[in-house]
Structure 1
Amino acid sequence: MLKILPVVIALLLLPAQALAEPAPGFHSGPVFTTFGDIAPVESDLAIPEGTVFRVVFNVSAKATPGQLNTTINAAARFINMHVEAGVPISDIHVALVVHGGASSDLLTPAVYAARNGGAANGSAQAISELVDQGVAFWLCGQTATAYQITKADLLPGVGMSLSAMTAFALLQQQGYTLNPF
């Protein structure tokens, strides 16, 4: 434990920008340049011309306060890598169904700070950028009630569904497939 303490302290002292640099082998994407980093791959599974993606992400784990939610980041990665692979962004339809603790990541800055010891919502900017690109965010209404979240507490562009189960069922009827991770 004492051997890793200097490493942990050194990481904490790095400027935030240095921590945000893409991991080795990864680079920023063509749509979202400050999150959703991707790696080039020589894929053996071709994406057929004319492919249209309709993908829904299941978001249940809350991000560490001040950090970007990893599943929200994964949705940006999905878009970035497919646009870079030649799929027109108009053929990529992404939705996120949010429930459980992750509901906190959808809160406005003031509400988030009040519920998280003054911390900033590290997902707010990414959500704004994703919404601007047509990504749909659906909060489970049952979770909202359990966590005492109202529509006024939500970031712009975030919608409320009757439940996560309802959102998944309706999105599947619209041809969305569930991303398995």
Structure 2
Amino acid sequence: MHITRLIVVLPLLALAQFAAAAQMESFKTGPVFNDFGATAPVQQSQPVATDTVFKVTFDVGKSAEPDKLNRSIESAARFINMQVAAGVSLDNIHLAVVVHGGASLDLTNQAFFAANKDGQKNASATAIAQLQEKGVEFYLCGQSAAANGISNADMLPGVKMALSAMTAHALLQQQGYSINPF
């Protein structure tokens, strides 16, 4: 009885993996970030006007997996790549990434990161620098920084220290930013 189930289940699992891999083939990086931030083309029912202005914050609380770019930070690159590919001017895209909790170390320089992560490399640092070059602002929750012993000198260049993540979000909302729910 178990062998019969196994004979039926194994090919189905292989087919599901093949289908998932085929679906992911449509995801490509660019046009702004070519090393990360892959998106797929979509036939839209609600096209984005090319003159749309975006002001969006991303809330990042979960740390990156070891030796990997923080997926929530990569979402900012995906957002930019997606909108520019849809025809929106990069000048009309204003993003802020507010980092707190376990993700706080992802905004620290290599020396601090390695000292607190068993010598590992901060795999998010390069992407953060590239995002900053395109105008994305990064805010570290000061309360999370204090809880993790992070000083301003420990942060990556260009990262801003906020009183708290809650405060950063509130102030950005007053400036017309919406919070990305993902």
Instruction: Give the secondary-structure state (helix, strand or coil) at the position aligned to 2:32.
Output: coil
Instruction: Give the secondary-structure state (helix, strand or coil) at the position aligned to 2:170.
Output: helix
Q: Which residue number corresponds to residue 64 of structure 1?
A: 65
The amino acid across from 1:149 in the alignment is I
Q: Which residue number corresponds to residue 24 of structure 1?
A: 25
Residue ranges of structure 1 left out of the alignment (5+ in a row): 1-21
State the shift of 1:49 in Å.
4.0
Q: Which residue number corresponds to residue 116 of structure 1?
A: 117
Q: Which residue number corresponds to residue 47 of structure 1?
A: 48
The 2-side partners of 1:56 and 1:31 are apart by: 19
Report 1:135-174 matches (<5 A).
Answer: 135-174=136-175
The amino acid across from 1:122 in the alignment is A
How far does the alpha carbon of each residue in 1:29-69 deviate from its partner, in whole angstroms, 9 at most, with x for none? 11110000110111111212421000000000000121100
RMSD: 1.1
The 2-side partners of 1:77 and 1:57 are apart by: 12
State the shift of 1:139 in Å.
0.3
Q: Which residue number corresponds to residue 129 of structure 1?
A: 130
How far does the alpha carbon of each residue in 1:106-151 deviate from its partner, in whole angstroms, 9 at most, with x for none? 1101111111111101100000000111100000101111111000
The amino acid across from 2:142 in the alignment is G
Structure 2 contact 50–86 (Cα < 8 Å) conserved: no
The 1-side partners of 2:144 and 2:102 are apart by: 8
The 2-side partners of 1:146 and 1:115 are apart by: 13
Q: 1:57 to 1:81 in 2, by over 3 A?
A: same
Q: Which residue number corresponds to residue 177 of structure 2?
A: 176
The 1-side partners of 2:34 and 2:50 are apart by: 25
Q: Which structure: greater helix fraction?
A: 2
Q: Which residue number corresponds to residue 101 of structure 2?
A: 100
Higher radius of gyration, 1 or 2: 2
Q: 1:49 to 1:31 in 2, by over 3 A?
A: closer
Structure 2 contact 55–178 (Cα < 8 Å) conserved: yes
Report runs of 4+ in structure 1 exceeding 3 Å deviation: none
Instruction: Give the secondary-structure state (helix, strand or coil) at the position aligned to 2:153.
Output: helix
The amino acid across from 2:119 in the alignment is G
Instruction: Tell me the matched-pair count.
Output: 160
State the shift of 1:91 in Å.
0.0
Residue ranges of structure 2 left out of the alignment (5+ in a row): 1-22
TM-score, scaled to structure 2:
0.86
Q: Which residue number corresponds to residue 12 of structure 2?
A: none
Structure 2 contact 50–89 (Cα < 8 Å) conserved: no
